[in-house]
Amino acid sequence: MNVPDARQIAVVDLETRTQVASWTVLDLRANFPMALVDSGSVLATVFRSPARLVLLDSKNGAMRENLETCDDADDVFFDSKRHRIYVSCG
């Protein structure tokens, strides 16, 4: 779950409905859109300040990629057929 004001992603156990961890990505703020890649092993999240698409390991929060993207991202999704991640911006 994104916590943009805290610059964090909260990791929540859906069975117990409790927060089990939080991940902070240094020097990036205003994380809003977020999506799991098909396998569930990668979390894609988009930051607005600066505008970056970040791919995190969903098991431990380790950064796999940090890519430039468009400003003011509204959504991010994964196309499993084409194996692409799309970011829509406003």
- Structural domains counted in the chain: 1
Predicted local distance difference test score (pLDDT) of residue 7: 81
Is there a domain that residue 40 lies in? Answer: yes
Predicted local distance difference test score (pLDDT) of residue 15: 95
pLDDT for 3-29, tens place per residue?
A: 877 788 999 999 999 999 999 888 888
pTM of the model: 0.88
8 C-beta neighbours (distance < 10 Å), count: 17
Is there a domain that residue 65 lies in? Answer: yes
Q: Where in the sequence is the domain holding 37, given as residue range(s)?
A: 27-89
Is there a domain that residue 20 lies in? Answer: no
Predicted local distance difference test score (pLDDT) of residue 37: 87
pLDDT for 23-46, tens place per residue?
A: 988 888 898 899 998 788 999 999
Between strands 51-57 and 63-68, the pairing is antiparallel
